Every structure is written in C-alpha cells, then in structure tokens.
Structure 1
Amino acid sequence: MRAAVLGSPIEHSLSPFLHRAAYAAMGLDGWRYDAFEVGEDRLPAFLAALDGPWAGLSLTMPLKRAVLPLLDSVSELAVEVGGANTVIFRDGGAHGDNTDVYGIEQALAEAGVPAPRSALVLGGGATAASALAALRNLGLGEATLAVREPARAGETLAVAERLGVALRVERLDKLDALLDVDLVVSTLPGRAADEHAVRLARVPALFDVVYSPWPTAAALAVRQAGGTVVGGFAMLLHQAVRQVELMTGRTGVPVEAMRAAGEAELSRRSAPAG
C-alpha cells in the first residue's frame, strides 16, 4: 500500500519520517510513504495518473485549497476551513479531510493550555483558517486576526463566517494594542514573528506554528517571561497521527515512535556540518 506527501517545496518535509515510523511500529511492512514535488499546476495530472494500491496523500503548501475541486467528496470541516491537507482513497473515490485542526487542538492540550477566553491569530493563510476552526471547537465565538494587509483577508473572513466565529481584522503593525488576550497563535512563516518578540513576551501563551529552526525568538521571549509556548512540531506530529489513522483504518497509532523519529530528524538537520 502506498501513501505520500505532496507540495512545493517538499524536500524538507518531516512527514515521511513520521509516517514511516508509524508503519514500522505498527508492523505494516508492505506500506511505503514517499514525497513528491507537486505544485498547483501539476496537481490534477498527478492525481489522474495514480494507479495501484494507494491509501492516501498528505498535502502541504500550496495544495490544500487547490485540491478541493478535484475530489469526489470533502468533509464538512475541510469545507468550513476551505482546505484539505489529507486525501483518502476509498470506495473508488478520493475524499478530502483536514487533520490540521486536530493537530492544533492536540498540541494545545498536550502543553496544558486551557481553552482561551480570547485569542489573536497572526497571519491569514490556510493554517490561520485551521487555527480559527480549532479555537471554535474549543468554545471561542470570536477572535482577532492581525495581517499585514487587511484588504487581502477576505478568504479568512469567509472561513470565519462559515465557522460561526466573529472575526475582527486588524493591521499587524498595530500589534501592541491587540495583545490583551489569553492566547496568540502565530501562523506567520519562517521567523517572521521574531520581529515582534519583545511585544509578544507579555502574552500568557503563544502557539508558534514554526518548527524549524526552533525555538524562535518569539517563543524564547514568551518562555523567558514565564508564559506557555507551543511549537509547530506538536501540531505536525498530531495531524500526522490522525492521517495515519485515516489512511490505515487503524487506531492505536504509535505517537511516541513518531515523535522520536521526527525529533531525531530535526536534531540531525540542526547539527553542525562536518
């Protein structure tokens, strides 16, 4: 049985290490998991060319939204957030789902972050949409979104409306006035949140979706000030756990084996060369 992760760029994806560790621990000797460089333009042809025993696909940037019209069915959650990071092949069809929301919820729970009464989300992409869904599932009916260009937040506003979340959109350069919240979720790419590290140090909890390099300056600032920090690796791990469940049809996925494999690969990548 085959599975794979698709995206562009894809060479640094941790998904193969996580999924292969699960297969090994579960005794799924006939399973393989690969990585393919696939952009939006190549996605339709890639899906059409699949043959043989495929269980599913993991999708990363920029495919989570582009895949929706190519699927036979899409889960209600994936429709709400406007993106599927998971494709399951069953009953002769391709079915889309979203495990990023589950990953965020589990990462927060694992770190002991209580359900927030107020939250601020930085950035307006696909991960921000999943963060809003996770906050909704945790009982939050309203949130604030901070982006560089509020005029370009239309897609995220549409997601919030589908989720039933009242969303206020503000400019990221007004961050100082927005930090009186229980939780900040930064979905900004790379180390983009680091320029705000001093400001973010005053929040009680930060979820920074970056996992490499880690820790970010923003995460360090919050941790040193006594706040709770959640990193992107925990989200990546738990969304992959749910993907393995969906693709294999099994429960009891070996979370700790997957965690160890992912952490070992991250350590290898961060080790000095030579």
Structure 2
Amino acid sequence: MKKWYAVIGDPIAHSMSPFMHDLWFKEHGINATYIPIHAEPAKLEKAFQAMKTLGICGLNVTLPHKSSIIPFLDRLDETAVKMNAVNTVTFEGGKSVGWNTDGDGFVRSLAANPLPENPKILVIGAGGAARGIVFALKRAGFSDVSVANRTYRRAEELAHAAGCTAVTMKEAELALGQYNILIQTTSVGLAKDEGLPLSMEHAAAGSLAADIIYNPLETPFLKAAKEKGCTALNGVGMFVYQGAIAFEKWTGVEPDTEKMIGIITEKLGGNYVNR
C-alpha cells in the first residue's frame, strides 16, 4: 500500500518539501507520496487528528506550528523537549513522536562555509526555528551566541534556557558590527515587499548573514546584508539537511543532500556551484 507523508503550516504554498521528498522517494524506489497541508493555528489540532485517522506515516511541521503542535503529540525526543519546538513527527506503534531537525540542519549548512574562530553570533527571532538553531549552535560548540527578538521577554526566555545572551532589537541594531555571523530566523521576508527584521545600517563587511528562508533565494535581509559587504547564506542548505534527517528517520535511507541543494537552488532560479 502506498504510504503518505506531509508538511503542515500557514502559509504552505511556498514549500518545496513535497518536491524534494517526492524526488527522494522516486530515486530510492519507495512507494510513497508527500503533500502540503494548510492549517490555520485555530485548526491545527483538528488537522493533526484527521491526518492520524487517515494513516499518515510521517509529518514535517513549519511556521507557525512548531511549538503549538507539541500538546497533540504522544512523546518528544530529548532535543525537541529542550528546544520546545518540533519540525518532524514520526509515528511508531500508533504513537506520535516529535523531533527537531532544524538546528542540526542549519549547523550542517553553516559548517559548509569558512568561519572565523570563536565567532560572535546574533540570532534574530525567538520562535521555534530560532530555538532549534540556538540549541544546536551551543551543542556544536559555538559559545558566544546572542538572541534578539521584537518581544524581548521571549528572547530572555530562550537565552535563559540555552545559556546565551538576550539583547533588545535596538541593542542588536546598534551593535550589529560586532557580530561575525547574523542569523535571521523570523518569517519576515517570506512575503513579497516585506521589510527587514532589523536595520542593517551597522552590519560589518565580511560578516556572514544567514536567512533560514529559502524561497525567495534572496530575501530583503540578505539583499541588505550583501549591500553592506556581507557574505549571504540562504536557507536552501538548512532546508535540505533538515529534510534529509527527517527522511532518514522515516525510511532508514540517507538521501543525496549535495545533489538536492543544487536542484532546489536551480529550481528557484539561482545558480548553484558545487562545493
């Protein structure tokens, strides 16, 4: 019988996950399909229960549901507990298990770039994706990490949980030149004609600016960073790596990530140079 998998979010039309996973299923001869499911926050629980009833085999979770889906799951992996965010769900023996592959996916993407020793890192945002990234950065040995968020209380909560520093958006803007790596984790830039999550006026040339958004390839944040002489890293690598970790959890198969990064980049209108 054909298995089925899905990604749930709001919005969801932009997601490349169905394309990526269906291609991996085809490449590995797996009889399965992967679909996008749009669910507004108020309808998340009903949507999740319906998917379980219909026999879903695996689920990815994207904005804004990464934390709000947790009460509906039977169990969380230890990493997801620490991060209080889930982006992958497996179904084992009729029980749903929440995982977070975002952070490890981002760190793998970041590690593919030349980085300074002991970099000073600013994470912009304090939502589910930010939590995954901050904890993964700390676990990977990055010690100097700060979190800035529009609602400062949320930045404080994440910083306290992860053992890093919280700063206000204004403090981050004024001190932007002190950071070697800037990581944009909010949804700002996902829609057309959106502004910036913070002013890039003081960004330092030569720093690395990363945006977890992959569609569009160049967000306003990355465009502004490049204008300041920063190296830009879009979210394609993180997207592919986190998806590959989920795919392996579901199927036991490790897909070709380098090939997929190239395919996704070119499909979105970019030029990919094999590293």
- Cα 1:116/1:235, change in 2 over 3 Å: farther
Aligned amino acid, residue 143 of structure 2:
G
Alignment equivalent of 2:114, drawn from 95, 109, 112: 112
* Contact 1:85-1:96 at 8 Å conserved across structures: yes
User: Percentage identity across aligned positions?
Assistant: 28
Q: Report which of the two has the higher share of helix.
A: 1
1:47 corresponds in structure 2 to 48
Shift of 1:169: 2.0
Shift of 1:133: 1.2
Shift of 1:73: 0.8
User: Counterpart of 2:20 in 1: which secondary structure?
Assistant: helix
* Contact 1:16-1:35 at 8 Å conserved across structures: yes
User: Counterpart of 1:11 in 2: which secondary structure?
Assistant: coil
**Alpha-carbon distance in 2 for matches of 1:168, 1:228:** 24
- Cα 1:116/1:232, change in 2 over 3 Å: farther
**Alpha-carbon distance in 2 for matches of 1:185, 1:53:** 37
The runs of 5 or more residues in structure 2 that have no matched partner are 271-275
Aligned amino acid, residue 179 of structure 1:
G
* Contact 2:83-2:135 at 8 Å conserved across structures: yes
1:240 corresponds in structure 2 to 243
1:271 corresponds in structure 2 to none
* Contact 1:146-1:169 at 8 Å conserved across structures: yes
**Alpha-carbon distance in 1 for matches of 2:180, 2:115:** 10
> Is 2:129 aligned against 1:127?
yes
Q: How many residues align?
A: 262
2:140 corresponds in structure 1 to 138
- What TM-score results when the alignment is normalised by the length of structure 1? 0.85
* Contact 1:201-1:218 at 8 Å conserved across structures: no
2:156 corresponds in structure 1 to 157
**Alpha-carbon distance in 2 for matches of 1:148, 1:160:** 14
**Alpha-carbon distance in 1 for matches of 2:72, 2:82:** 17
> Is 2:231 aligned against 1:228?
yes
Greater mean deviation of Cα atoms: 11-20 or 131-140: 131-140
> Is 2:1 aligned against 1:2?
no
**RMSD of aligned residue pairs (Cα, Å):** 2.5
**Alpha-carbon distance in 1 for matches of 2:224, 2:47:** 43
**Alpha-carbon distance in 2 for matches of 1:179, 1:130:** 25
Higher RCO (C-alpha 8 Å, min separation 6): 1
Shift of 1:174: 5.1
* Contact 1:198-1:218 at 8 Å conserved across structures: no
- Cα 1:61/1:220, change in 2 over 3 Å: closer
> Is 2:168 aligned against 1:170?
yes
Shift of 1:88: 0.3
Alignment equivalent of 1:20, drawn from 6, 19, 22: 22
User: Counterpart of 1:196 in 2: which secondary structure?
Assistant: coil
The runs of 5 or more residues in structure 1 that have no matched partner are 269-274
